[in-house]
Amino acid sequence: MPHVITNPCIGVKDQACTEVCPVECIYDGGDQYLIHPDECIDCGACVPACPVSAIFPEEDVPSNETPFIAKNKEFFGL
């Protein structure tokens, strides 16, 4: 899973990340946006576009935000 959207996105859902994604792999997950791991090309364009700094490469997700890795996988049935 190249990138993961974490807690700061909840309730904000600013669309800046979706607007810069060249492959449109960011989906509305209800309370936040989520990145489809099989569609993401790991370009990182969404990271600086996020106004709340909620997007991380999976290996860099802060330890207190790791439940969002599972949330993302579950949403896409992985």
Contact between 31 and 60 under an 8 Å Cβ cutoff? The reply is no
What does the alpha-carbon distance between residue 28 and residue 11 come to, in Å, rounded to a whole number?
Answer: 12
Q: CATH code at 33?
A: 3.30.70.20
Host H or E run for residue 38: none
What does the alpha-carbon distance between residue 30 and residue 54 come to, in Å, rounded to a whole number?
Answer: 16
Q: Which residue has the tokens 């904000």?
A: 12
Q: 34 φ, ψ to 5°?
A: -135, 150
| pLDDT value for 64 | 96
Return averaged pLDDT per consecutive 10 residues of the chain, 78 residues in all. 91 93 96 94 95 96 95 91
| pLDDT value for 71 | 93
Domain residues for the domain of 31 are 3-75
**Number of domains into which the chain is organized:** 1
